[in-house]
């Protein structure tokens, strides 16, 4: 009971400050409006209340935040024309005759004033007027459009999303010029009021999918949304699974390609990472570059990804199981060589593997956190020095260093970082099973993972689709990538959908039209 009382008291204390009058309508008395706004922005040194006379007669005030609003535009297009000599005008006439700004609108409540001031739009309040004018004059620093460092490609666009949501939506509009590309905005976060946009193509995305995404987002009640990872964790189907059930990307072409398949894209202001839903296990092993190269090259590389994905999950476990329990599986000459290298190693194979894998993961994380100029060098040199020193000191064997190195290379083959982390996490319990039960333990671990994947859903879509449940025509873009002239249908995700993305007879060559 004591803990419940403390928790209730704490919850009451952290509630947002409610200022009297913020839900009320603006008054015709300018002084009353200023009193309410000043009480709301008490101890906010960057909020400017610029008082002046319109035409030398009517009292007015312009409220804006220094650093978020364009001061030069305010001086040139708002203050200068309004303060010049002229007759007394109503607010409507001021907007029509004196303020020449493309983005303007009227507001009638204090809540609307605060929302616009907070995003950099100045609000003009005039005495004897029960409404204000919002002036679309925001200005803030933004990062230039660059190629995403984590999703670089050999062939493909070199532009990536940035932290400004208006730029991100424009990048999508440049890719998809149809008015059927719809974008539904909402604000999430009691304090941050972060702008979140749901993007989809009407006629391709199922309406039930759009409504489900919208409902899950509107159920979120939280103080702040600072990155799309907040959203991802709050709307996924199975929060206890290590596998990602939404995919994040910085590439506009990847987001546009997902929209064309009937998926939904969630954009969050303040982050370059947008979320794509729903996703499947196989889509997480696909790269945007797969669709820009010849289908034979793309299919070969995609098959390599699947093979090395398995290596990254079970290769150290296989080494441990075989050396511990299944010597007969190794050729005699190779077995003699391995045991000769392990002659001075005091630890069993399981402890040796755990030591090397933990060290490798620590080096990888250190390389990510260090400055770019020294991060790569230290991670590579560190791995070489530590590996060589460990072998010479007799702490680990040379074959184990080779196995860990191959496993690390294999994990880098996974295109999406979150999927790679899930496989790296699962590698350790499988190693423990291999050290205790041998190959039987590896089989039990893999079967458990497959069963778990079969139970997962991403916004209702089976995670192992199109393999389980089997959808024959969608296999053309699962393990391999069929040529574009063979992929006439788009994936069937949920409910109603538009099945055909192109007409038949697209195969090039002398017999064009026969397919």
pLDDT, average across residues 17-44: 78
Ordered strands of the 264-268 beta sheet: 181-188, 194-201, 264-268, 274-277, 247-249
Query: Which segment, 53-62, 277-286, 483-492, is predicted with the most confidence on average?
Result: 277-286
Q: What is the DSSP string of 162-178?
A: -S-HHHHHHHHHHH--S
pLDDT, average across residues 317-326: 91
pLDDT, average across residues 325-352: 86
pLDDT at 513 over 60: no
Separation CA 263–CA 257 (nearest Å): 9
Q: What is the pLDDT of residues 413-443, one digit of tens each?
A: 888 888 989 998 999 999 999 999 999 999 9
**Residue 239 · residue 228 · CB < 8 Å:** no
Q: Output the pLDDT for position 494.
A: 80
Of residues 368 and 46, the one with the higher pLDDT is 46
Q: Output the pLDDT for position 182.
A: 94
Please report which confidence band the pLDDT of residue 11 belongs to, taking 50, 70 and 90 as the band edges.
very low
pLDDT, average across residues 150-175: 90
**Residue 476 · residue 486 · CB < 8 Å:** yes
How many CB atoms are located within 10 Å of the residue 450 CB?
11
Please report which confidence band the pLDDT of residue 13 belongs to, taking 50, 70 and 90 as the band edges.
very low
Q: Which residues contact 114 (CB under 8 A, 6 or more apart)?
A: 22, 40
Q: Output the pLDDT for position 303.
A: 93
pLDDT, average across residues 52-80: 87
pLDDT at 367 over 90: no
pLDDT, average across residues 235-240: 92
pLDDT, average across residues 216-227: 93
How many CB atoms are located within 10 Å of the residue 496 CB?
13
Reference 416, options 304, 249, 265; nearest CA is 249
Single pTM value for the model: 0.85
Tell me the sheet residues that pair with 60. 52, 126
Buried b (16+ CB within 10 A) or exposed e, 316-342: bbbbbbbbbbeeeeeeeeeeeebeebb
**Distance from CA of residue 511 to its chain's centroid?**
44
């Amino acid at each position: 009971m004591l803990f419940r009382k403390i928790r209730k008291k704490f919850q009451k204390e952290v509630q947002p400050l409610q200022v009297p009058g913020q839900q009320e309508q603006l008054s015709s008395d300018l002084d009353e409006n200023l009193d309410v706004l000043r009480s709301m922005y008490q101890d906010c040194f960057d909020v400017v209340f610029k008082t002046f006379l319109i035409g030398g007669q009517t009292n007015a005030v312009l409220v804006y935040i220094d650093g978020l609003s364009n001061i030069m535009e305010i001086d040139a297009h708002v203050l200068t024309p309004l303060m010049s000599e002229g007759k007394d005008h109503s607010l409507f006439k001021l907007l029509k005759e004196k303020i020449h700004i493309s983005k303007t609108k009227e507001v009638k409540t204090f809540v609307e004033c605060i929302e616009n001031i907070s995003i950099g739009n100045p609000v003009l309040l005039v005495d004897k007027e029960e409404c204000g004018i919002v002036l679309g004059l925001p200005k803030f620093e933004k990062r230039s459009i660059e190629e995403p460092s984590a999703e670089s490609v050999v062939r493909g666009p070199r532009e990536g999303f940035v932290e400004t949501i208006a730029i991100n939506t424009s990048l999508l509009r440049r890719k998809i010029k149809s008015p059927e590309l719809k974008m539904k905005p909402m604000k999430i976060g009691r304090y941050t009021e972060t702008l979140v946009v749901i993007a989809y193509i009407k006629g391709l995305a199922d309406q039930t999918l759009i409504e489900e995404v919208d409902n899950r987002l509107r159920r979120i009640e939280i103080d702040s949304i600072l990155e799309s990872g907040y959203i991802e964790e709050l709307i996924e189907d199975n929060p206890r699974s290590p596998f990602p059930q939404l995919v994040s990307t910085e590439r506009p072409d990847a987001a546009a390609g997902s929209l064309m398949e009937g998926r939904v894209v969630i954009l969050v202001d303040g982050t370059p990472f947008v979320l794509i839903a729903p996703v499947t296990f196989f889509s997480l092993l696909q790269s945007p570059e797969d669709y820009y190269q010849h289908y034979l090259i793309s299919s070969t590389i995609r098959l390599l990804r699947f093979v090395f994905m398995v290596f990254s999950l079970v290769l150290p476990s296989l080494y441990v199981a075989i050396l511990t329990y299944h010597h007969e599986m190794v050729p005699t000459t190779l077995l003699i060589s391995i045991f000769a290298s392990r002659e001075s190693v005091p630890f069993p194979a399981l402890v040796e593997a755990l030591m090397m894998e933990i060290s490798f993961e620590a080096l990888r994380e250190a390389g990510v956190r260090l400055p770019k100029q020294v991060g790569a060098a230290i991670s590579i040199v560190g791995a070489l020095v530590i590996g060589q020193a460990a072998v010479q000191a007799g702490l680990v064997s040379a074959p184990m260093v080779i196995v860990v190195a191959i496993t690390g290379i294999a994990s880098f083959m996974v295109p999406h970082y979150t999927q790679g982390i899930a496989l790296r996490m699962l590698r350790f319990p499988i190693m423990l099973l291999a050290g205790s039960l041998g190959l039987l333990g590896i089989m039990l671990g893999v079967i458990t993972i497959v069963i778990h994947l079969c139970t997962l859903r991403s916004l209702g879509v089976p995670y192992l689709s199109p393999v389980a449940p089997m959808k024959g025509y969608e296999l053309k873009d699962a393990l391999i990538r069929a040529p574009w002239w063979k992929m006439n249908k788009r994936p069937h995700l949920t409910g109603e959908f538009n099945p055909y993305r192109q007409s038949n007879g697209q195969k090039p060559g002398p017999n064009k039209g026969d397919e």
